Amino acid sequence: MLWTLRALLLVVLGSVCAQAQTRTLALYTGPANGLDVRASEVMRNELQRLLRPAEIEVVWKSLSDRRSAETFELVVVSSFEGSCSPHDAPTAPPISASLADTSISDGHILPFFRVDCTRLLQTLGSRPEPSRLGRALARVIGHEIYHIVAKTTEHQETGLAKAVFSVRDLTSNRFDLDAWSLDRMRPPVVERRAADLSAAGAR
């Protein structure tokens, strides 16, 4: 009986610690003009899948609905440039040479990024399916969030932290953060232990 209680206690404490380590990231976004409902759904699900191993839970928020009383561990603000509709032929030149970019000031990475939908649609080709577009958007967004959360401009040879994405990277069934990048995105060990002790003490 004693061993059973000890095992149950370990399971409960493990659950508490796991919850303590997971941080909430509020992603405030402006309107994504022309984005299909299905593409939006895939984008949100895929972004959460990408960031879950980094112990991050994404909460999507509208910039127009922001409340000063709301508090989150992490806050990121994004915008979508151009039209995100595959039906709008991207004849206009792309806004930037990259699919997205994060703001930097005096060498410091700021929690702001923008996605160039025109450039992304040109990269994917004519009228990509909603699921492919949604997956591509999530991976572009995830890449920028990696820079912001990890507070680094560094890139890796493989995975979501790569400097350049191919169409395959953007649309394949599996594409993830590498172990090094995940470690950079997680809170420091000291902060994790403090959170674990706080959660355990609250019981």
For residue 197, the surrounding DSSP H or E stretch is helix 189-202
* Residuewise pLDDT in 10s, the chain (203 residues): 333 323 322 332 333 334 447 899 999 999 999 999 999 999 999 999 999 999 999 999 998 877 777 789 999 999 999 999 988 766 665 555 789 999 999 989 999 999 999 999 999 987 899 999 999 999 999 999 999 999 999 999 999 999 999 999 999 999 999 999 999 999 875 444 444 444 455 55
Beta carbons of 80 and 175 less than 8 angstroms apart: no
Gyration radius of the chain over CA positions? 19
**Assigned domain for 12 exists:** no
Q: Could you give phi then psi for residue 2, rounded to 5 degrees? A: -60, -40
**Assigned domain for 200 exists:** no
**Assigned domain for 197 exists:** no
**Assigned domain for 153 exists:** yes
Q: What is the pLDDT of residue 63?
A: 85
**Assigned domain for 65 exists:** yes
Question: Which residue range(s) make up the domain with 49?
Answer: 23-183
CATH code (residue 65): 3.40.390.10
**What's the structural domain count of the chain?**
1
**Assigned domain for 29 exists:** yes
Write down the H helix ranges in 109-156.
117-124, 130-150
Residue 67, C-beta contacts closer than 8 angstroms, at least 6 positions apart = none
**Assigned domain for 1 exists:** no
Beta carbons of 155 and 163 less than 8 angstroms apart: yes
Q: What is the pLDDT of residue 89?
A: 61
Q: What is the pLDDT of residue 197?
A: 45
Q: What is the pLDDT of residue 46?
A: 98
**Assigned domain for 139 exists:** yes
Q: What is the pLDDT of residue 94?
A: 57
Q: What is the pLDDT of residue 3?
A: 39
Partners of 77 in beta bridges:
28, 112
Q: Could you give phi then psi for residue 56, rounded to 5 degrees? A: -125, 130
